[in-house]
């Protein structure tokens, strides 16, 4: 353990007044060495806090902090996990990390299977590394909700898909969590040839009968890139997607009859593959947004009617004092990226979103703003979402369209001002603005563009 490294201290805060500074490493709080931000939060909650921290090469300093009970220390911590992230020892045949080329950002290759990150950030865990000690802590500290990757309830098939024999038995922890009153959101990555059709129907039946208190089950289609080395893995066909949607609708009707609420949801991408319109009344929940459930209807409502749309993502991290924006939840861009002249405006986005944006712009009479889809040649396969666009593909699209205009992209394809392939906005061949990936933010930008300056 290297301690909880302090990344920032608010001037005038209790920690600052006590002498704690950026770069210090907290070794113990009130005599306890915290292993993660959850334990840290509990330890600092009182009115009197004793902190032991190291600075540079010293052996440790004692800081006595007096504050109001429940008042934050005013510290930001570099990492949410202070000991070691529990990495995933599955080798799932559908894992997208195995479909990444070499040379991308190091954080993209981290496979975690840590229930603490599930609670903090909404990451999905297979429970194959879950233990009795973990269960005891989750129950005693009420770390709820958690997010569990089920994929299938067929033990043999689950072990095969996870390529881990523990996959056959680890769902026993799911039952234990539900029995203890922990809220669980489940996920099924549906892979043609493996866990769809009869296998998916079996899984949904089991979820409804064996795990009936599960809060939700989101079904998302397998995404395959050209870097996949799994010869048996393939994308959904239109007819397979339609069959899957019909199965989900059938079992969700059963859920409403049996438990009084919707349980099964399909991601918007499943509807797009099926060439069907996602329902306008999709259950709106931030807990399902990570799986792409209801994003289109929420975006449409936000764009047309100005309703707010939660962009924090799932998990509890936003309410924990000092918890960092880990991994892909890091800030997307930091500076104002919407300075432009009177050039014609062109919005660049993924293939799935392009037709939707054109429809929305037409609905408000803005035919003067272009929407162009960017083909994802970097990943290839059936990857068509805006969040996986790379700088090289955006640059190529700019060149093909022509550089005599002002381009705009969604911020979801950036992390700390960088695209997945490491390029930055400065590497693009033309000026490019960035708009937050919400309907209300896009509408505000569109309304700021003088219509007469872009008339055809």
- Domains of the chain with bracketed CATH: 4-77 (2.30.42.10), 97-323 (3.80.30.10), 331-454 (3.40.50)
Interhelix angle 198-209/238-259, rounded to 10 degrees, is: 20
Smallest Cα–Cα separation from 186: which of 263, 277, 254, 286? Answer: 263
pLDDT digits (tens, 9 = 90+) for 126-171: 999 999 999 999 999 999 999 999 999 999 999 999 999 999 999 9
Radius of gyration of the chain (CA): 24
Alpha helices in 180-320 (DSSP H): 198-209, 238-259, 268-273, 286-289, 295-305
- According to the model, what pLDDT value does residue 312 have? 43
| CA geometry: angle 431, 440, 409, nearest 5 deg | 25
Residues 197 and 17: their CA atoms lie apart, in Å, by: 62
With left for phi above 0 and alpha for psi between -120 and 50, is residue 267 left, alpha or beta? beta
> What does the pLDDT read at residue 56?
81
Alpha carbon distance 53, 58 (integer Å): 9
Helix 351-363 to helix 295-305 angle (10° resolution) is 30
Q: Does residue 75 contact residue 6 with C-beta atoms inside 8 Å?
A: yes
For residue 79, what pLDDT is reported? Answer: 83
Both tokens of residue 420? 């997945």
Q: pLDDT (tens digit, 9 = 90+) per residue, 327-364? A: 545 556 655 556 666 778 999 999 988 988 999 999 99
- CA–CA dist 115, 124 (Å, integer): 8
Per-residue pLDDT at 339? 60
pLDDT of residue 456: 47
Backbone angles phi, psi at 139, to 5 degrees: -70, -45
pTM of the model: 0.84
Which stretches of the chain drop beneath a pLDDT of 50? 1, 310-323, 328, 453-454, 456
Gap between the Cα atoms of 1 and 40, Å rounded? 14
> Would you give the DSSP letter of residue 46?
S
pLDDT of the residue at 422? 87
**pLDDT in the model for residue 65:** 93
What pLDDT shows up at residue 338?
A: 62
DSSP letters, 174-187, are HHHHHHTT--EEEE
**C-alpha atoms less than 13 angstroms from C-alpha of 369 in its C-beta half-sphere:** 26
């Amino acid at each position: 353990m290297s301690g909880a490294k302090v990344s920032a201290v608010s001037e005038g805060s209790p920690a600052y007044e006590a002498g704690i500074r950026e770069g210090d490493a907290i070794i113990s709080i009130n005599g306890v060495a915290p292993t993660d931000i959850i334990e840290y939060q509990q330890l600092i909650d009182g009115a009197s806090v004793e902190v032991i921290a190291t600075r540079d090469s010293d052996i440790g300093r004692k800081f006595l902090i007096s504050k109001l009970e429940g008042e934050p220390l005013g510290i930001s911590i570099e990492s949410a996990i202070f000991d070691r992230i529990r990495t995933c020892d599955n080798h799932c045949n559908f894992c997208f990390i195995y479909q990444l080329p070499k040379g991308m950002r190091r954080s993209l290759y981290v496979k975690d299977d840590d229930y603490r990150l599930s609670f903090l950030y909404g990451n999905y865990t297979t429970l194959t590394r879950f233990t009795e000690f973990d269960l005891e802590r989750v129950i005693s500290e009420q770390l709820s909700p958690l997010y569990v990757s089920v994929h299938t309830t067929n033990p043999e098939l689950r072990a095969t898909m996870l390529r881990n024999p523990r996959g056959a038995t680890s769902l026993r922890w799911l039952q234990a969590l539900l029995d203890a009153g922990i809220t669980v959101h489940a996920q099924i990555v549906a892979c043609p040839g493996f866990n769809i059709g009869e296998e998916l129907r079996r899984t949904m039946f089991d979820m409804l009968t064996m795990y009936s208190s599960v809060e939700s089950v989101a079904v998302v289609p397998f995404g395959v890139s050209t870097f996949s080395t799994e010869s048996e893995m393939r994308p959904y066909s239109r007819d397979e997607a339609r069959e899957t949607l019909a199965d989900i609708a059938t079992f969700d009707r059963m859920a409403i009859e049996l438990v009084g609420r919707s349980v099964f949801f399909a991601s918007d991408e499943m509807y797009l593959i099926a060439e069907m319109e996602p329902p306008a009344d999709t259950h709106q929940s931030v807990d399902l947004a990570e799986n792409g459930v209801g994003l289109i209807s929420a975006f449409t409502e936000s764009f047309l009617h100005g309703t707010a749309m939660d962009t924090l993502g799932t998990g509890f991290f936003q309410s924990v004092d000092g918890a960092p924006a880990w991994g892909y939840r890091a800030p997307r861009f930091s500076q104002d990226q919407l300075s432009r002249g009177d050039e014609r405006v062109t919005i660049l986005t993924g293939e799935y979103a392009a037709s939707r944006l054109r429809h929305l712009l037409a609905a408000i009479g803005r035919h003067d703003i272009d929407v162009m889809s960017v083909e994802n040649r970097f990943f290839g396969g059936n990857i068509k979402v805006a969040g996986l666009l790379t700088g090289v593909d955006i640059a190529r699209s700019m060149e093909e369209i022509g550089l005599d205009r002002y381009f705009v992209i969604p911020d979801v394809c950036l992390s700390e001002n960088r695209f997945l392939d490491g390029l930055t906005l400065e590497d693009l061949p033309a000026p490019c603005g960035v708009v937050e990936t919400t309907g209300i933010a896009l509408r505000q930008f569109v309304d700021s563009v003088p219509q007469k300056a872009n008339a055809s």
